[in-house]
């Protein structure tokens, strides 16, 4: 059996587009004799933890990635009919640095680049590319779009830009879906690979598990686009080939370029991200210099709040309760947690953003800071 790894796979977290249930992916990979599989949802990483756990449970190696959207101009440009024509790009994390960079890029796609989709741009890709492998993606990839525009020169220029950035971790992606455009693109990419010395990689942009799931997937697309199956002009994939193909099927289609199959295994070997569970990892809250410890600052803020409500000399009952609450929070090791929550609530309030009881009481530890008589509200510290 040829060795092959699926490196371009959409789960149910490619909302209303990916029909693969996360738990089914590693199972199916294993059934077909593959020992690794990637997750590359559209613009998000919501599924990666569940995916990681599901893979570990099956003894399959998880490869953490994302099919990001790349803005045609900068991530800040948001003009109709121009900036909604984003490109696709597959990014896979090789190591912890790559995972952090990928998380950062995807987050920035939402916080800075959101326009129809969470979009990154070439500026931040350059800045946060360390530890990442890039594949040129589907027909919506930048290189492929230029090939389809019959602008090979531009396609090569874009491919070289990626090669300069990612070095040997940039691959031209070919797919066996049989679409006429893809057949043309595959041929051009194989030529380009030789000419520019950029390795090829075979993927199948899997949106569903088995060939027969293609019909259900079409229904999912109808739900996404608000169409009926009877609508002639609905968006569709145009083929039933986007499933988790077996290594044999992949190798058979690309028997003329076996290196594209071999490279999937090499890439899988390069990707080694481990998640650690069970350790609470709170961010460290940086306190102002004049305070020696986090607890000092926490006591300072709390005391200020107490004074605002009860004056310089609060009644003994209040003071005792105050001391008791502080001691519990400190003993439980939640001082930083409270400072962090205070920080974002305080930021929201000073920037005109509404925060209500739900924000605060949604916190897991609210019970230990709520005072029964409700006179002392901690979110007003």
Nearer to Zn ion, 86 or 115 (CB): 86
CB of 206 to Zn ion, least distance (A): 8
Decide if residue 205 touches Zn ion (CB under 5 A): yes
Distances (CA, A) of 140 to 10, 57, 127: 15, 34, 23
Q: Is 67 in the site for Zn ion (CB under 5 A)?
A: yes
Greatest Cα pair distance, the chain, in angstroms, is 85
Rank residues 119 and 345 by Cβ distance to Zn ion and give the closer one: 119
Rounded to a whole number of angstroms, the minimum distance from the CB of residue 369 to Zn ion is: 46
Tell me 142's DSSP state. H
Nearest CA to 62 out of 104, 33, 25 is that of 25
Give the range of 84-92, 189-197, 259-267, 359-367 binding Zn ion by CB under 5 A.
84-92
Residue in the block written with tokens 């797919």: 175
Task: Indicate the SS3 state at residue 300.
Answer: helix
The nearest distance, CB 78 to Zn ion, in angstroms, is 21
Burial letters for 204-230: b for 16+ Cβ neighbours within 10 Å, e otherwise? Answer: bbbbbbeeebbeebbebbbeeeebeee
Kindly give, in sequence order, each residue whose CB lies less than 8 Å from that of residue 321, ignoring residues fewer than 6 positions away: 371, 376
Region from 45-53, 80-88, 128-136, 343-351 binding Zn ion, contact rule CB under 5 A? 80-88
Q: Give helix then strand counts, H and E, for the chain.
A: 14, 7
Token digits of residue 365:
């530890």
- Only segment of 134-142, 184-192, 193-201, 362-370 that touches Zn ion (CB under 5 A): 134-142
Between residues 6 and 163, which has the closer beta carbon with respect to Zn ion?
Answer: 6
Give every CB contact of residue 281 below 8 A, 6+ residues apart in sequence.
Answer: none
Beta bridge partners, 75, equal none
# binding residues, Zn ion (CB under 5 A): 6
Name the one range near Zn ion by CB under 5 A: 46-54, 169-177, 197-205, 358-366. Answer: 197-205
Q: How far is the CB of 207 from Zn ion (least distance, A)?
A: 7
Which of 22-30, 60-68, 103-111, 177-185 is the region at the interface with Zn ion (rule: CB under 5 A)? 60-68
* 3-class SS of residue 371: coil
Q: Could you tell me the smallest distance in angstroms from the CB atom of residue 69 to Zn ion?
A: 9
Residues in the chain: 381
244 touches Zn ion by CB under 5 A = no
Q: Is 138 in the site for Zn ion (CB under 5 A)?
A: yes
Q: How far is the CB of 251 from Zn ion (least distance, A)?
A: 21
From 88, 94, 119, 145, residue interacting with Zn ion (rule: CB under 5 A): 88
Task: Give the footprint of Zn ion on this chain (CB under 5 A).
Answer: 67, 88, 137-138, 140, 205
């Amino acid at each position: 059996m040829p060795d092959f790894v699926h490196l371009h796979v959409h789960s149910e977290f490619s909302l209303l587009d990916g029909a693969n249930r996360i738990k089914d992916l590693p199972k199916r990979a294993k059934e077909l004799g593959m020992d690794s599989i990637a997750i590359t949802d559209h613009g998000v990483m919501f599924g990666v933890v569940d995916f990681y756990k599901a893979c570990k449970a099956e003894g399959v190696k998880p490869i953490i990635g994302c099919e990001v959207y790349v803005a045609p101009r900068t991530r800040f440009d948001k003009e109709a009919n121009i900036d909604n024509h984003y490109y696709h790009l597959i990014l896979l994390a090789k190591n912890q640095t790559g995972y952090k960079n990928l998380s950062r890029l995807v987050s920035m796609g939402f916080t800075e680049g959101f326009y129809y989709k969470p979009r990154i741009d070439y500026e931040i890709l350059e800045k946060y590319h360390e530890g990442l492998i890039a594949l040129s993606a589907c027909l919506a990839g930048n290189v492929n779009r230029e090939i389809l525009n019959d602008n090979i020169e531009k396609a090569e220029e874009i491919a070289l830009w990626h090669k300069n950035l990612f070095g040997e971790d940039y691959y031209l992606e070919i797919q066996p879906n049989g679409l006429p455009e893809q057949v043309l693109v595959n041929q051009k990419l194989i030529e380009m690979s030789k000419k520019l010395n950029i390795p090829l990689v075979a993927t199948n942009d899997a949106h569903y598990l088995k060939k027969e799931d293609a019909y259900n997937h079409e229904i999912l697309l109808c739900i996404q686009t608000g169409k009926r199956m009877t609508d002639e002009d609905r968006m569709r994939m145009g083929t039933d080939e986007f499933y988790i193909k077996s290594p044999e099927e992949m190798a058979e289609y690309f028997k003329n370029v076996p290196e594209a199959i071999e490279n999937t295994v090499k890439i899988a070997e390069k990707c080694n991200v481990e998640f650690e569970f069970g350790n609470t990892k709170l961010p460290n809250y940086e306190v102002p210099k004049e305070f020696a410890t986090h607890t000092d600052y926490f006591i300072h803020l709390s005391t200020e709040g107490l004074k605002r409500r009860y004056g310089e000399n609060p009644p003994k009952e209040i003071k005792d309760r105050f001391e008791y609450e502080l001691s519990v929070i400190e003993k439980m090791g939640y001082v930083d947690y409270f400072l962090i929550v205070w920080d974002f609530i305080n930021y929201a309030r000073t920037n005109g953003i509404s925060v209500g009881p739900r924000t605060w009481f949604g916190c897991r530890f609210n019970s230990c800071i709520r005072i029964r008589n409700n006179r002392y509200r901690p979110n007003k510290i």
